[in-house]
Structure 1
Amino acid sequence: MNTHYNLKRFLLPALFTTICWQSAFAQREVLYEQYVQNPMAINPGFTGVREDFNMTAVFRRKWFNIRNSPSSQTFAADGTVANGKFGIGFQALNDQTSYFTTTGFSASFAYHLGISDEWKLGLGAQGGINVLPVADQSGYIGNNRALGTFGIGAWLRSEQLYIGVSKPELLAQNLGNQPAVSVYRRPLYIMAGGSYDVGDEILMLPHVLFVQEKERKLRFDLGTRFWFSEKVGIGASYRMGGGYTGLSSKVDYLQLSAEVQVGRNVRLGYFYSTRTAEQIYASYTGPKGIHELMLKFVPNPKGFQKY
């Protein structure tokens, strides 16, 4: 009886601690993986690139047919001031992928300067907090704790091409012996892409993303979107690599997208991924895919928003 009791006393806190931290730090991954719809999620240098003030909300759910299944909500807004010289933005995330709920808030700022007749450079920084449940060294999960976050990025662009380099998380948190130490990796992102007219009223938006993270193999994504008459958009992106160094773990997955421009101000979107960002850290049973619904609102658009 004592042995059974001691095992329960040791294993249960350890299990819940691991779930808690995996949920908390997968929180940022949820936001990062929405970079196609919201490049500001991984690069503050993008803040204000679209110039028009715009708002994007994404609702994410794992299983629509299971009550209280894991879900998250994200919101992002950005625009420019001072005749386009400065970009300001805000992002928020509420994520519930286990018994615990974590939230995050960040604000971003970018300075945009023209370096030639065709090219502009955005230099940005972002900062905020992540509020998440914290476990002590014995494994007991106590009150929520606010941890700071800070990142920087640069976004070079012309009418047809862009390249971005960013570190959305620079701070090294003092987490002691917590399981989060192994997943708190402060990624480096390098992204490039462009826009090309490939036919009558057909716009192609290809992109490639390289991600380097601590103790993980190089990951790269390839994808493209097509817009037809600036009304309907479809796309696909394949994410490859990123497994732990020296291990054969794979995190490859496919994301499909469909978007519709409803009038001048509103865009609706649906996205399906064949696996979730959280599966990098933990095993899940049941369906592996994730569904996302997007609502984008631009109060006073000057033209079609490609990105």
Structure 2
Amino acid sequence: MKNIYHIVIILLAGVFSASAQQESQYSQYMYNTMTFNPGYTGSREVISALGLYRTQWVGLEGAPKTMNFSIQSPLGTHANGIGLNVVSDQIGPVKNTGAMASFAYTILGSTDVKYSFGVSGGFDNFSVDYNKVNRERMDDPYMVGTVSQFSPNVGAGFYVHADSWYVGISSPKLLKTSYFDDVKQTTYSTKSHFYLIGGYVFDLNPYLKFKPAVLTKYVSGAPLAVDVSANFMFNDKFTLGAAYRWDAAVSALAGFQITDGLMVGYGYDYETTKLGNYNSGSHEIFLRFELTGSSKSRLVTPRFF
């Protein structure tokens, strides 16, 4: 069996070099938009908290695991918002934990359209646990224990939405950071990622809604990444859909509105690349809790986005 070190090198090459997508990947991006667009902050107009866990490429040793927690709240009477987003990514012995606080300023249009400008600021902590690596030289002074490096970052986003559609563009981390550049062999640099998201809600009948959505990701040095999804909501309670990540994976999505303020969702990815021969897919689950008592309209019809 290949040792963990070799597995990590393969994963890092695949995730960071070939695709150059260094930010966390989500199949249910339509539910945690604030993670990559601070302009979304407060747009739900209630206190909203979401917890998400993703385990990718199950069965492959050292495969990525992601935990995400976010909370947002409206601020004042002008539809502004504040929020906090915490993400932890682990790939073998490599772990990156970050926290970003966000603020969005909203301008009300002449109709039901709202324009939100968001900014965020926070930090990342990148660490490597060499105790999880099979080393050729146990006395290597650069590969002992756990080493970590802290770095600040800022992000910005623009989000426009109405009752039946939304579109947003953002970059959650604008600053480029190089880690461990005092040791050339372990240098790792992050790049700015740019996101474009959009979606529309079609009322097919009083009991059925259809929502297509798309998320486009761009980072210098990598092909454009596109996620396309289509979800159906039945009786404002049950959501069922599918998604396609261009040249990468297909996904099955499901969600259930347990109460007006509590929703649970699950996603399963099947890898369409050759990597799919070595794992049994990816699983993603989220739980969202909202204080809906401050918004009577939400008690009648939960928000689809």
Q: TM-score, normalised by structure 2?
A: 0.79
The answer to whether the Cα contact below 8 Å between 1:164 and 1:192 also exists between their aligned partners in 2 is yes
Which of 148, 153, 159 is equivalent to 2:152? 148
Q: 2:287 matched to 1:295?
A: yes
Q: Would the alpha carbon gap of residues 238 and 114 (structure 1) be closer, same or farther in structure 2, given more than 3 Å must change?
A: same
Aligned with 1:174: secondary structure? Answer: strand
Aligned residue in 2 for 1:203:
209
Q: In the TM superposition, what whole-angstrom CA distance separates every residue of 1:148-174 from its partner, at most 9, and x where no partner exists?
A: 221111001111221111111210113
Once residues 61 and 12 of structure 2 are traced to their aligned partners in structure 1, the CA distance between those partners, rounded to angstroms, is 23
Aligned residue in 1 for 2:68:
74
Q: Would the alpha carbon gap of residues 20 and 101 (structure 1) be closer, same or farther in structure 2, given more than 3 Å must change?
A: farther
The amino acid of 1:198's aligned partner reads: L
Once residues 197 and 101 of structure 1 are traced to their aligned partners in structure 2, the CA distance between those partners, rounded to angstroms, is 43
Which of 158, 163, 168 is equivalent to 1:159? 163
**Aligned counterparts, 1:199-278, within 5 A:** 199-240=205-246, 251-275=247-271
Q: Would the alpha carbon gap of residues 65 and 209 (structure 1) be closer, same or farther in structure 2, given more than 3 Å must change?
A: closer
Q: 2:174 matched to 1:170?
A: yes
Which of 42, 52, 55 is equivalent to 2:46? 52
Aligned residue in 2 for 1:111:
105
Shift of 1:194: 1.4
Q: Would the alpha carbon gap of residues 71 and 27 (structure 1) be closer, same or farther in structure 2, given more than 3 Å must change?
A: farther
Aligned residue in 2 for 1:305:
303
Q: In the TM superposition, what whole-angstrom CA distance separates every residue of 1:224-267 from its partner, at most 9, and x where no partner exists?
A: 11110111001111111xxxxxxxxxx42112211111122211
Q: Would the alpha carbon gap of residues 284 and 127 (structure 1) be closer, same or farther in structure 2, given more than 3 Å must change?
A: farther
Shift of 1:18: 4.6
Shift of 1:34: 4.6
* Structure 2 gaps, min length 5: 130-140
Which of 193, 217, 233 is equivalent to 1:187? 193
The answer to whether the Cα contact below 8 Å between 1:31 and 1:93 also exists between their aligned partners in 2 is no
The answer to whether the Cα contact below 8 Å between 1:91 and 1:107 also exists between their aligned partners in 2 is yes
Aligned residue in 2 for 1:245:
none
The amino acid of 1:306's aligned partner reads: F
Aligned residue in 1 for 2:121:
127
Q: How many residues align?
A: 280
Q: In the TM superposition, what whole-angstrom CA distance separates every residue of 1:263-288 from its partner, at most 9, and x where no partner exists?
A: 22211111111249xx99xx697315
* Structure 1 gaps, min length 5: 1-11, 241-250
Identity %: 26
Q: In the TM superposition, what whole-angstrom CA distance separates every residue of 1:4-61 from its partner, at most 9, and x where no partner exists?
A: xxxxxxxx9x969857967997996325655222111121111111111111111223
Q: Would the alpha carbon gap of residues 63 and 170 (structure 1) be closer, same or farther in structure 2, given more than 3 Å must change?
A: closer
The answer to whether the Cα contact below 8 Å between 1:201 and 1:228 also exists between their aligned partners in 2 is yes
